[in-house]
Structure 1
């Protein structure tokens, strides 16, 4: 079986500039390609248009393109020349619909990571319904994302996507990770990892630190890139952090980020808008960090009942401060740290890959193939 996985057109793979979808795609391909009966081709933007087999068990083709349209045109040429049996598109519904119309007999899978590209800026409601109803399979990374897509797009209850959780992204799953025995630092070290944008709630984390530091020695490290459209927000954050123990570390590559997890005590995830899953929570928990996160979207599915504390009043910095303060006792902290690791170990790329392979086999089985119209 030959599977082509098409990454989005915006960021390169390997993910030297970050990108959760890019990191996800890399490790999904690695996991699927462990099966000897499956050939995997990963297509992504990059600096050259040649296959690369370096340190991978799959064929990685990078396309150097000057525009999004050129990238997707070249993807179509690759489908014509390589003849994959299954084409899986990562988080691009509009382009998936175009490919579905061009290759109606090809098994087509749309892997949704978020709601972003189902919004009106990217695709009409009618086309969103068409692609979600016409492809052979839609994958969502959480039950919450599946439910939210159904409600927002106005799909019938019989529309049932496959829910496949992501695994822990290497190198965050270290050998011997089950032996982690963390002791909280003094001052308490908090960590935020993600894009530095308003909807991620970085301002909530800073305000929580300002509340906490009146009674508890605490410091916050903010890891992540600020996109150009959030420069004003970044300046507001810097001003808000002027009298607080806050460090802006900027973007870190995965190998440096794992060291950052090891040096901190708690991950703070104060998202203010819908999060489909929140892979960063799993990465942190795999390193023994309890998570203090918003009770929002698919985050509760990632954190579970064991991985940390979920904040229902997530617009309120005081609510985050109270949750963080509740873990300051060493014995309590270590109990949550061990539970966080236990929760993270439920998510493996081996399990994810097995579920994807079952999905591909179903899509290629004529007896199970859905009949689609109006595409």
Structure 2
């Protein structure tokens, strides 16, 4: 275990969907991991979801009034700062990890622990919200100025970060996110089928930047293509109000292990993200499970997937993208080639390496 005590957190309710929440669980709440950490999230609306074996619960803070901009945002940050510092004494913390360069947890940690060195972890939503909301842009610039090091999972994130805030290359550290070693060692058994249907899976949030609506439009009514969506129920309902989803099989929001099992039941994962992804962990985990991936070649995904997956431009050339998908339906050898290249790509990103490199970086900045 690391001798450095890390404090980190997300101002999201425990149980919220998203890659940053899964990363928090993997790196900071695994009792057998190399990072010694205290972590916090917000109290959920209902009872806390059960944790997987070996996963600790973070401290759940009851801090109302979360918002993204305006004077009310800074009032919320003040309340969150008070709650965090009351829960975690200053003298017990060596290093602060900022899980986003935007949102409320980052300024709360910077204000509450000004003497502790900070390491910032860059996620895609940080940069998207900093571009859209002036308040979040202010938070990002404050975080960049304060952090000793800024961890990017892909070079594409470093390039986009430099567009939003001045930062020298000497403070940017490239540490890819990682796939659980247990998954790499023992992926779920794949389902064998004899039919010619191509079972396409979308897995993730249904916010505009994820491109799910465009994917539905492209695949609607195409013979031999069946689309399933693993996504939050409320977001699926909102999308169904503006799109015909009657032919889409909705799987709900799945646990990590349930999603891995769903990977084994499908033929192709499509990542149609419209803007950027910090890394695209869900795609790499799909590859680890033997599920071929097709993706919109946006920053982050290009770095993590490259030619191990099929680039599709659903936005600029949907007709050609659809032709390539139907080609995969009819060419199982091409799917097998993508499956093999995906396995090799996923093997480059063990979670244990991510954790070790973050632990080493924390020791360096202490």
TM bracket (short chain): 0.7 to 0.9
- The equivalent of 2:17 in structure 1 is 18
Q: Distance in 2 between matches of 1:199 and 1:54?
A: 30
- Give the deviation of 1:195 after TM superposition: 1.3
Please list, as runs of the form range in 1=range in 2, the aligned pairs for 1:101-116 lying within 5 A after superposition: 101-114=111-124, 115-116=127-128
- The equivalent of 1:371 in structure 2 is none
- The equivalent of 1:168 in structure 2 is 179
Is 1:27 equivalent to 2:29 in the alignment?
A: no
Q: Distance in 1 between matches of 2:43 and 2:13?
A: 8
Is 1:195 equivalent to 2:208 in the alignment?
A: no
- The equivalent of 2:231 in structure 1 is 224
| Structure 2 CA distance for partners of 1:353 and 1:131, relative to 1, 3 Å | same
- Give the deviation of 1:150 after TM superposition: 0.7
Please list, as runs of the form range in 1=range in 2, the aligned pairs for 1:64-79 lying within 5 A after superposition: 64-68=62-66, 69=76, 70-79=79-88
Q: Distance in 2 between matches of 1:320 and 1:146?
A: 28
- Structure 2 residue corresponding to 1:335, chosen from 315, 337, 357: 337
SS of the residue aligned with 2:84? Answer: helix
- The equivalent of 1:320 in structure 2 is 321
Contact kept, 8 Å, 1:31 with 1:350, in 2: the verdict is no
Please list, as runs of the form range in 1=range in 2, the aligned pairs for 1:37-52 lying within 5 A after superposition: 39-46=36-43
Gaps of 5+ in 1: 365-375
- Give the deviation of 1:41 after TM superposition: 1.7
- Give the deviation of 1:176 after TM superposition: 3.0
SS of the residue aligned with 1:237? Answer: coil
Please list, as runs of the form range in 1=range in 2, the aligned pairs for 1:104-143 lying within 5 A after superposition: 104-114=114-124, 115-119=127-131, 121=133, 123=135, 125=137, 127-143=139-155
| Structure 2 CA distance for partners of 1:252 and 1:354, relative to 1, 3 Å | same
Q: Distance in 2 between matches of 1:342 and 1:182?
A: 21
| Structure 2 CA distance for partners of 1:197 and 1:315, relative to 1, 3 Å | farther
Q: Distance in 1 between matches of 2:264 and 2:59?
A: 34
Q: Distance in 1 between matches of 2:251 and 2:51?
A: 33
Give the number of equivalent residue pairs.
347
Please list, as runs of the form range in 1=range in 2, the aligned pairs for 1:282-297 lying within 5 A after superposition: 282-297=284-299
Contact kept, 8 Å, 2:63 with 2:80, in 1: the verdict is yes
- The equivalent of 1:263 in structure 2 is 265
- The equivalent of 1:146 in structure 2 is 158
| TM-score under structure 1 length normalisation | 0.80
Please list, as runs of the form range in 1=range in 2, the aligned pairs for 1:90-105 lying within 5 A after superposition: 90-93=99-102, 95-105=105-115
Deviations 1:347-371 (A, max 9, x none): 111110111012101101xxxxxxx
Deviations 1:91-145 (A, max 9, x none): 1536434533443321212222121443453636455333202222222222111
Q: Distance in 2 between matches of 1:236 and 1:322?
A: 25
| Structure 2 CA distance for partners of 1:130 and 1:298, relative to 1, 3 Å | same
- Give the deviation of 1:317 after TM superposition: 2.6
Q: Distance in 1 between matches of 2:232 and 2:348?
A: 29
| TM-score under structure 2 length normalisation | 0.82
- Give the deviation of 1:313 after TM superposition: 5.6
Contact kept, 8 Å, 1:33 with 1:40, in 2: the verdict is no
- The equivalent of 1:61 in structure 2 is 59
Task: Quote the RMSD (CA, aligned, Å).
Answer: 3.3
SS of the residue aligned with 1:204? Answer: helix
Q: Distance in 1 between matches of 2:213 and 2:268?
A: 17
| Structure 2 CA distance for partners of 1:159 and 1:119, relative to 1, 3 Å | farther
Deviations 1:243-287 (A, max 9, x none): xx4222332222322221111000011112222222111121111
- Give the deviation of 1:175 after TM superposition: 4.5
Q: Of Structure 1 and Structure 2, which has the larger fraction of its residues in helix? A: 2
